[in-house]
Amino acid sequence: MRTAPTHQPSTERNQHSQRADHETAPVEPLRGLGDVPWPDLQDSTGSAATIPLLLNKIAWGSAPTAVTAVAELRDRICQYGFVVTQATAATVPFLWELAQLPHVTCRPEIVRLLGGIADARQWERTASAYPKLLNRRENPVAWERAAREAVRERCGLLCRLPADESELGRAAAELARALDPARAAI
């Protein structure tokens, strides 16, 4: 009697099966979301436990739901468009993933959010005026740097976005300018 194959966690797969899965199976959005300890991270409201729900609304919600979720996510991880939180760096890879998916209805808003994160230097500016900020147990300057680095790590994905005059194309061009290494060092 044959039995159905059991699911193997990705850490137990060998290189060959990973390659075959990648080539034949569609990519499941937000697959690693459960691997992040969201309740242990902080966003602007306190615990970042709600971030997975917001990311899922962006991925699968109607256009109005997705836009509202992006706005709420922005308030939580890049408040005022320039103040990042501890949870920001962990959220960035999922934002890049969502920005690549054609079915996601609010891709320009996601790309603009990535641009705000890439430009964020509020904590660094504050620390330059008040160096004692760097001595705190919670180091928002480190959060800011980690968030910017997370955006830059996946900047190669920009070439997959349109380079035209569409709203998404304009947002991608703005993000490319924000990522210009001549503009500012991490």
Give the predicted TM-score (pTM) of the model.
0.78
Q: Please tell me whether residue 32 adopts helix, strand or coil conformation.
A: coil
How confident is the model at residue 133, as a pLDDT?
64
Task: With a cut of 70, list the residues of the chain below it in pLDDT.
Answer: 1-27, 127-128, 130, 133-136, 181-186
**CB-CB contact of 38 with 51 (8 Å):** yes
H or E element, residue 79: strand 78-79
- Long-range contacts of 68-73, Cβ-Cβ distance < 8 Å, separation of 24 or more: 69/106, 70/106, 70/109, 70/110, 70/113, 71/109, 73/113
**CB-CB contact of 112 with 146 (8 Å):** no
**CB-CB contact of 123 with 148 (8 Å):** no
- Residue 121 CA to residue 44 CA, distance in Å, equals 16
Average pLDDT, the chain: 82
**CB-CB contact of 167 with 107 (8 Å):** no
- Residue 183 CA to residue 7 CA, distance in Å, equals 46
